[in-house]
Chain A
Amino acid sequence: GDSVTQMEGPVTLSEEAFLTINCTYTATGYPSLFWYVQYPGEGLQLLLKATKADDKGSNKGFEATYRKETTSFHLEKGSVQVSDSAVYFCALSDGSTSYGKLTFGQGTILTVHP
């Protein structure tokens, strides 16, 4: 079946550091890929998505590129802020949207210090 593997956390960075959170997937067909973010006490929020190979999703300075050849969707940000501290989940859907069954990675806790 489908699966998503994220790098283990927690990840601790200083403000303005470069962020990478690795995500690889196993799926049949052509899944859509997503990054969700969960701030303390809140529900998961869609951060960005990509629906086909070589697509780049971007939002709030975060980027991730759908790499079919390496089955990866790594999350990057050039300069993190304290407000980026949260839990980040990589996920896939066998459809073109997130409205359906989602398969999640285990989540990566990010802490950014001033």
Chain B
Amino acid sequence: GAVVSQHPSWVICKSGTSVKIECRSLDFQATTMFWYRQFPKQSLMLMATSNEGSKATYEQGVEKDKFLINHASLTLSTLTVTSAHPEDSSFYICSAGTSVDNEQFFGPGTRLTVL
């Protein structure tokens, strides 16, 4: 149980285009989803926290207009990188959790490369 999937697992796009990454909780309903970003050989950095049906809460320094997060249902959250640039290339990881389990369950990540 407690499986979280991400789609796609990797994506390559041209500079200036937008990319959407999906995060799904497959066997449970997630009241909260978290989005992280990881640079090579660096730690995961929390970008934003989203609760179903509410606007996401972004960490300091994360551009909310650049990284659009939608948590429309208890099993799906999406991260859209708008007008992507090469510096947005990174590994994006989502996690999902409930206050019942008091734990986050992580997806396998999405590798984004912007050319």
- Give A16 to B70 CA distance when docked, in angstroms: 46
Asked if residues B44 and A104 are in contact (CB atoms below 8 Å), the reply is yes
Chain A residues in 8 Å Cβ range of B105: 43
Which residues from B are CB-within-8-Å of A101? Answer: 46, 49
Q: What is the count of residue pairs linking A and B with beta-carbon distances less than 8 angstroms? A: 52
Q: Does A46 contact B (CB under 8 A)?
A: yes
Chain B residues with CB under 8 A of A41: 108
* Chain A residue contacts of B45, Cβ below 8 A: 104
Using Cβ atoms and an 8 Å threshold, which residues of chain A touch B109?
Answer: 43
Is B43 within 8 A of A43, CB to CB? no
Contact: B44 with A99, CB < 8 Å?
no
Given A44-B93, A99-B32, A101-B46, 11 additional A-B pairs, CB 8 A: A43-B95, A44-B95, A98-B102, A98-B104, A101-B49, A102-B34, A102-B46, A103-B46, A104-B36, A104-B43, A106-B42
B4/A43 in contact, CB under 8 A = yes
Find chain B residues with CB under 8 A from A103 CB: 43, 46
Range class of the B interface residue count = 20 to 34
* Interface membership of B54, Cβ < 8 A: no
Q: Are B108 and A42 in contact (CB under 8 A)?
A: yes
Please, which residue of chain B has its CB at the minimum distance from the CB of A105? Answer: B43
A58 CB-CB contact with B under 8 Å = no
Point out residues on B near A: beta carbons under 8 Å.
4, 32, 34, 36, 41-46, 49, 93, 95, 97-99, 101-109
User: CA separation between A4 and B43, bound complex, in Å?
Assistant: 9
With A43-B4, A43-B93, A43-B108 known as contacts, the answer to whether A89 contacts B44 (CB < 8 A) is: yes
> Are B103 and A98 in contact, CB atoms less than 8 angstroms apart?
yes
Residues of A within 8 Å of B32, CB to CB, are: 99
What is the chain A residue whose CB lies nearest that of B99? A99
Are the C-beta atoms of A102 and B104 separated by less than 8 Å?
A: yes
**How far is A102 from B43 in the complex, measured between Cα atoms in Å?**
11
